[in-house]
Amino acid sequence: MVDLSKYKELFVDESREHLQCISRNLLALEKEPKSESKSTDALNEIFREVHTLKSMAATMGCGEMEKLAHEMENVLDGLRRRGGLEKGEGTVDVLLECLDGLETLVEGVATGKTVSRDLTSLYKKLENVAVSTATAAEEKEGEKVEEGKEEGRKVEAEREGEGKEEEKEEEEKEEEKEEGRKVEAEREGEGKEEEKAAGRVGPAIRLGVEKIQALQNLAEELAIAKMRLLQIASASKHASPVPELNEITATIDRLTSELQDKVMRMRLFPVGFLFDRFPRAVRDLSSKTGKKVAFIVTGVEIELDRLVLDEINDAVMHLLRNAVDHGIEKPEERKKVGKKEEGKVVLSARREGNSVLVSVEDDGRGMNVERLKKVAVEREIITSEEASRMKEEEVYELLGAPAAGLSTAKKITDVSGRGVGFDVVKSKVRSLGGSVKISSEKGGGTKVELRLPLTTAIIRSLLVGAGEEKYAIPLDSVREIVAVGEVEGKENFRYRGRVLPLLRLKKILDIPGSGDDENEKDEKDEKDEKEKGRLGSVVVVERDDKLFGILVERLVGLQETVVKPLEGLLKDRQGFAGATILADGSVALILDVGELVQ
């Protein structure tokens, strides 16, 4: 007997893809049930996917899954013969319920746990739908037969009335056209063959993320070795030049960079891989809350690191739930203020430099800034005096305050309203090296934008020194490097007509020479700085549209850094996003700018 357990992972992955495709096409079918082209294409695609899933389940011995898919197939076949869905028909709801059942069974196979779910009522619904669709299909087929017979009679009568001379002329014209087609085909044949060869799609190989990660690790180690080799070659160039060494070093540098680029591209997936999960969720949420919502998705072709995609799934889901539950108003409420009854939620992605911007935008009621301030004061998150001075964007920052639970919802539901979700969104995005921006207009809607790094594996960094240590600052966070002569106020400096807060890296990280027992030394250093008339190099960094200055002792240079996760004693240390190995073999910690500025 063949051991099928080794195919389990492949079966689960492919089944999830088929289910996602079925879900996407069911929603498309529901939107335009009577569209001649879109409806037919979606229905045929669903039928093929369900049939494939049924065959796979039969091969793997998943009897319940095979049976459920077979019953779905009967309903879909009836719909195809009938010509599609009728407006307001509840068949899609039944098919989506079947889809939930199939997903439960697939996840049961993935976890290896036996899923016990009573599908009796679902089978009864399917049976009723199958009977009604089959009856309607038979009636329609009967009508088509009668129409066909009548049409045949008319055509035959017309043919009899035509003269033989006209038939002959038509035949001659057709022969001339055919000759012309043959000549044209011979002329274009070579070009078409070249086009086909260029557009040919090669065979695909399915690889697990862990295998790509292993290859990535090897490429990273090779990159570190390359940097060390470049350093040795640079040193030997001045001591005892060896032309052959410089030549092979340049070749290894080029090939290693190409290898890193290829492996990085293997990690990238279109964001549509993530976005395809949400239309069904938005549909169910709008139905549950009694709201009409048009869900628009754009930028599905934009690519992002697969690991980043997996990490932001819950964050995007939370933002969509908030948009539907808190943002979009009820139809009657929208009508009163002159809006369309159907609200709009837009999920989009776009590339900007080395970042990808994922945004969730709605045209709902927007955020009430004064209401947010009031709730924040009531919960003692801020004082009344602080509230009066706060700008709009600073009020939005309160939504992400850790464990604050800030929410203006009057009623807590199973959808949202506890106010603890946005903190999770913000912390998750920041842990990936990204940022969150909120903009809102009262009565006009809200937009939340997540700025995410294209990948978290390799980043360009600015290497700086503090004490005897070197640190890496992600270049995406760096706005500019300036020389500052003096400090204004307590710890501020002037930058392009603005006064920005100044952070001394040596003090923040408690590097030897900046502790309490070294206060006298620190005061002496600051006195020396004033006497020299120069404070030092300040790296101006940007976080959530705010600028800060980080005072460093020295600038080392720019370098592509391979990000390694922190382990052991440093695992939970705040202020660091990872570590990297430099060309000389030493280790440098990568600074988490978001944590530092907090």
Is residue 200 one of the residues assigned to a domain? no
**Residue 148 placed within a domain:** no
| Cα–Cα distance, 98 to 87 (Å, whole number) | 20
Q: How far apart are CA 72 and CA 94, in angstroms?
A: 9
Q: Over pLDDT 70: what percentage of the chain? A: 76
Q: Which of 420, 453, 486 is the last residue of a domain?
A: 453
Tokens 């570590």 belong to residue: 579
SS3 readout for 366-390: CCCHHHHHHHHHHCCCCCHHHHHHC
* Residue 131's pLDDT band (cuts 50, 70, 90): confident
Q: What CATH number did the domain enclosing 308 receive?
A: 3.30.565.10
Q: Answer yes or no: is pLDDT of 526 > 80.
A: no
pLDDT above 90 covers what percent of the chain? 20
Q: How far is CA 172 from the centre of its chain?
A: 61
Mean pLDDT of the 204-231 span: 79
- The domain boundary, picked from 109, 127, 143, lies at 143
Q: How many domains does the chain have?
A: 4
Q: What is the CATH number of the domain that holds 20?
A: 1.20.120.160
472 and 379 assigned to the same domain:
no
Amino acid found at 358: V
What is the predicted pLDDT for the residue at 198?
A: 42
In whole angstroms, how far apart are CA 302 and each of 272, 332, 591?
A: 8, 37, 28
* Per-residue confidence band for 317, with pLDDT thresholds at 50, 70 and 90: very high
Q: What are phi and psi of 497, to 5 degrees?
A: 80, 5
The answer to whether the beta carbons of residues 399 and 418 sit under 8 Å apart is no
Count the alpha carbons within 13 Å of 197 in the hemisphere toward its beta carbon.
6
CA 302/CA 353 separation, integer angstroms: 12
CA 560 – CA 583 distance, rounded (Å): 10
Q: Indicate whether 165 belongs to any domain.
A: no
Judgement on whether residues 514 and 588 belong to the same structural domain of the protein: yes
Q: Is 359 helix (H, G, I), strand (E, B) or coil?
A: strand
Residue 113 placed within a domain = yes
Per-residue pLDDT tens digits for 446-503: 999 998 888 777 778 899 988 888 999 988 888 899 888 777 766 888 888 888 888 8
Among 520, 539, 538, which Cα is nearest to 528's?
520
User: Is residue 364 located within the same domain as residue 472?
Assistant: no
C-beta separation of 385 from 398 below 8 A: no
Last residue of a domain, one of 143, 166, 197: 143
Report the SS3 class of residue 200: coil
255 plus 346 within the same structural domain: no
Domain span including residue 78: 5-143
**Model pTM score:** 0.73
> Is the Cα dihedral 537, 542, 548, 550 positive or negative?
negative
d(CA 391, CA 440): 13
- The verdict on residue 447 lying in a domain is yes
Q: Locate 186 and state its tokens.
A: 């011979």
